Structure 1
Amino acid sequence: MRTVSFSMNISIDGYCDHTMFNPAEDVLEYFTGTMDDVDLLFFGRVIYQLMFPYWSDVAKDQSGTAAENRFAERFSAIDRVVVSRTLKSGDEKTRILHSNPAEELLKLKQQPGKKISVDSISMLPELIKAELIDEFNLVVHPGIVGRGRRLLDPGSLQENLNLKLDKIINFKSGCVALHYLKQ
């Protein structure tokens, strides 16, 4: 069975709005490395539209820094599933799913392959409840932003989810990667 990994950038005060962060080179290199074990991205519409076509354009044009270009090439080469009620189509590497994300993720998890990377705050409570997330990869940025989406809304989980800290990586940029496993 495949591993499902939830990855998210987060501020010290718990906000997860990707537009609030400007990832340093060392963080981009870290995320590029994590993509080596991933062969499927599982997104909600909001994060998908934030990430694409931006990163695929960077990969095509080589318009970023060396670290951005490497991340863009790796990231945009991976197949993706996007859960959306409103999105009608994507590119040739994107399949649109209109309902039942937990059911679909379970099917994908049971297929052979590498890790599935989930990046969706809106689906997180449902996927946790369905016990589909095997590991959490949080990169804490050294900033307090005071606005945006939180990792979880108050009351969104019925039970605590206890995790085991597997790894901590400190970056020169001041960010910290925390890797947790489901117990």
Structure 2
Amino acid sequence: MRPVTFGLNISLDGYCDHMTLNPGEELYDYFTSMMDDVDLYFFGRVMYQLMFPYWSDIAKDQSGTAGENRFAERFTAIDRVVVSRTLESVQGNTRIVRGNPAAELLKLKQQPGKKIAVDSVSMLPELITAGLIDEFNLVVHPVMTGQGRRLLDAGSLHEQLNLQLTDTIVLKSGAVALHYRKQ
């Protein structure tokens, strides 16, 4: 089966609001290198709409920094599935799935290919409960925001998920990239 990985930037106090974090060339390079092993992204509607058309415009216009441009080119080249009941259209190599994210991800996981990257906080508890997430890549930024979306809401998991730390990278910005695997 294909491995499924979840990756996200997060503040030290557990919030996932991308507007409060300060990326940088090193962070873009880190996430770009992670995409070498990924051939499918699995999004929720909100994250998809945050990412597109923003990154596809940067890839097309080369309007970002060198790191942003490399990230945008690689990111937009990867096939995508977006789970949404309301989204009417998507762009490029994206298809819409209307229901049951866990069943759809299980089907995709059973197909041949590289890793599937999940990029959706809203579906995370359901996908963890279904046993579908194999790896977690969290980049913890040295900032406390005190507001925003939490990685997991209280009571959203039915049982504890134990993980094994497999890699740690300290970035020059002070952010720490943590790679965990399910035990």
What is residue 29 of structure 1 aligned with on the other side?
A: 29
What is residue 153 of structure 1 aligned with on the other side?
A: 153
1:69-108 counterparts in 2 under 5 A? 69-108=69-108
Which is further off, 80-89 or 14-23? 14-23
Deviation at 1:92, TM superposition (A): 2.6
What is residue 124 of structure 1 aligned with on the other side?
A: 124
Once residues 173 and 25 of structure 1 are traced to their aligned partners in structure 2, the CA distance between those partners, rounded to angstroms, is 10
1:1-183 counterparts in 2 under 5 A? 1-183=1-183
TM-score if structure 2 supplies the norm length? Answer: 0.99
Name the SS for the 1:138 alignment partner: strand
Once residues 114 and 20 of structure 1 are traced to their aligned partners in structure 2, the CA distance between those partners, rounded to angstroms, is 31
Name the SS for the 2:181 alignment partner: strand
The size of the alignment, in residue pairs, is 183
Deviation at 1:89, TM superposition (A): 1.2
Q: Root-mean-square deviation (CA), in Å?
A: 0.6
Deviation at 1:173, TM superposition (A): 1.0
Superposed CA deviations along residues 143-165 of structure 1, whole A, max 9, x for unmatched, are 11111110000000010000000
Name the SS for the 1:7 alignment partner: strand
Deviation at 1:19, TM superposition (A): 2.0
Once residues 166 and 131 of structure 1 are traced to their aligned partners in structure 2, the CA distance between those partners, rounded to angstroms, is 19
Deviation at 1:22, TM superposition (A): 2.8
Deviation at 1:88, TM superposition (A): 1.1
Identity level (%): 74
Q: Which runs of 4+ in 1 moved over 4 A?
A: none
Superposed CA deviations along residues 105-149 of structure 1, whole A, max 9, x for unmatched, are 000000000000001110000000000000000000111111111
Once residues 127 and 37 of structure 1 are traced to their aligned partners in structure 2, the CA distance between those partners, rounded to angstroms, is 20
Structure 1 unpaired stretches of 5+ = none
Once residues 62 and 92 of structure 1 are traced to their aligned partners in structure 2, the CA distance between those partners, rounded to angstroms, is 17
